[in-house]
């Protein structure tokens, strides 16, 4: 798919979360005198008050609340119009991300017999190496996708850390640190998205349940002799609530449907791709979009991506948020338990459908 322009309209450059303001209390006096004069300590034994000596002239003030408002609007617009966007200045260590992708690459370079320890066709397994496949109408055998996938819990990680690969040796170490960074970034994104809907900042996270799970999914796409004949990942929407993807730089593979056309999402250095899952579309009553996307292959380069999924607990009940429903905006979906959603997705009959459509309400 050469020549397809990048989704420049989706890039939210300088998406900085420094607009989140924390207040700190200090006790005791902060003013000290020396032979050179008096000075103010930022950390002292008494509360530091915002006196006139600290207040900037009006034209020099940062107006962080205005920056936050603009950021919320940008995120909300991307969620409503595209369901995909890329972020930079996200606060996750670039070195950690680069070493993480290198570690994943080394895992897929391990001898097949070592990787095969994790292979399973049981989708309920917590830790699994597998191939995606597609059931085609009128065809008995499923079609395998041109990729290999390794998936396991990311946060909380304590109960399964000892089951993660021992090779490469640094695998467990890096995923341990990554789990905290991804959990924090997910929370920040969900807060921005909540506020973009006019809701309390923690509304979406609360609606997604008390025991969500972050899952890590590493995808390996080897060079393909004929990219016109197969796909790395078939057309789909994400079953979860929110996905954060780190792409290997210099190789394009992810494509998003926009206005009936496939558009490539070219990797931006040190960025994450954010895409909305089905449950965010349901909770937002259709305002935010979970859109079709796929992964294509190429003849020359291999490609690696690391996706982090925000997965609701199986007993979580999802449905349109009441504050988003009124006479002009009736509910588009019926409520359901996440376990029902998974059952519908993994039904063996027929082709795999876009499952959220199953829970749509009929409108006159």
Q: So where are the chain's domains?
A: 8-13+69-315
Cα angle at 244 between 243 and 245, to 5 degrees? 115
Instruction: Supply the pLDDT for residue 59.
Output: 60
Q: Which CATH class is domain 8-13+69-315?
A: mainly beta
Instruction: Supply the pLDDT for residue 34.
Output: 52
Instruction: Supply the pLDDT for residue 307.
Output: 98
Instruction: Supply the pLDDT for residue 27.
Output: 37
Instruction: Supply the pLDDT for residue 334.
Output: 87
pLDDT in tens, 97-153: 999 999 999 999 999 999 999 999 998 899 999 999 887 776 778 899 999 999 999
Query: Cis peptide before 66, with omega less than 30 degrees from 0?
Result: no
- Residues contacting residue 259 through CB under 8 Å, at least 6 positions apart: none
Single out the residue of 174, 28, 10 nearest to residue 83, CA to CA: 10
DSSP state of 27: B
d(CA 63, CA 56): 11
Going residue by residue through the chain, which has 364 residues, state the pLDDT in tens, using 9 for 90 and above: 444 333 334 444 434 333 222 222 333 444 555 555 555 555 555 555 556 666 666 566 555 566 888 899 999 999 999 999 999 989 999 999 999 999 999 999 999 999 999 999 998 899 999 999 887 776 778 899 999 999 999 998 888 899 999 999 999 999 999 999 999 999 999 999 999 999 999 999 999 988 889 999 999 999 999 999 999 999 999 989 999 999 998 899 999 998 899 999 999 999 999 999 999 999 999 999 999 999 999 999 999 999 999 999 888 889 999 999 998 999 999 888 888 888 877 776 544 556 667 777 766 4
Please, is 57 exposed, middle or buried when counting C-beta atoms within 10 Å of its C-beta (0-12, 13-18, 19+)? exposed
């Amino acid at each position: 798919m050469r020549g397809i322009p990048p989704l420049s309209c989706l890039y939210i450059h300088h998406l900085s979360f420094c607009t989140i303001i924390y207040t700190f209390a200090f006790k005791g006096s902060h003013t000290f005198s020396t032979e050179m004069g008096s000075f103010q300590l930022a950390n002292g034994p008494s509360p530091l008050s915002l006196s006139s000596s600290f207040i900037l002239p009006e034209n020099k003030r940062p107006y962080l609340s205005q920056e936050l408002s603009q950021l919320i609007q940008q995120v909300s617009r991307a969620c409503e119009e595209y369901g995909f966007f890329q972020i930079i200045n996200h606060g996750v260590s670039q070195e950690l991300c680069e070493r993480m992708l290198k570690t994943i690459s080394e895992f897929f370079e391990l001898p097949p017999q070592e990787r095969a320890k994790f292979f399973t066709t049981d989708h309920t397994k917590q830790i699994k190496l597998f191939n995606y496949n597609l059931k085609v109408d009128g065809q008995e055998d499923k079609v395998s996708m041109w990729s290999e996938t390794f998936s396991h819990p990311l946060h909380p990680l304590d109960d399964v850390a000892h089951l993660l690969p021992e090779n490469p040796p640094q695998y467990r170490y890096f995923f341990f640190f990554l789990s905290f960074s991804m959990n924090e970034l997910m929370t920040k994104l969900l807060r921005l998205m909540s506020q973009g809907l006019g809701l309390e900042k923690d509304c979406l996270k609360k609606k997604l349940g008390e025991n969500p799970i972050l899952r890590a999914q590493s995808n390996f796409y080897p060079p393909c002799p004929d990219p016109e004949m197969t796909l790395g990942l078939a057309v789909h929407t994400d079953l979860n609530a929110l996905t954060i993807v780190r792409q290997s730089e210099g190789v394009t593979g992810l494509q998003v449907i926009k206005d009936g056309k496939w558009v490539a999402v070219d990797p931006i250095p040190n960025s994450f791709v954010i895409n909305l899952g089905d449950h965010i579309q349901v909770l937002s009553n259709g305002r935010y979009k979970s859109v079709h996307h796929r992964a294509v292959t190429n003849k020359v380069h291999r490609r690696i991506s690391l996706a982090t999924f925000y997965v609701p607990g199986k007993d979580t009940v999802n449905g349109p948020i009441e504050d988003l429903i009124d006479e002009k905006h009736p509910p588009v979906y019926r409520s359901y338990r996440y376990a029902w959603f998974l059952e519908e997705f993994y039904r063996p009959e027929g082709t795999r459908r876009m499952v959220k459509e199953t829970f749509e309400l009929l409108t006159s």
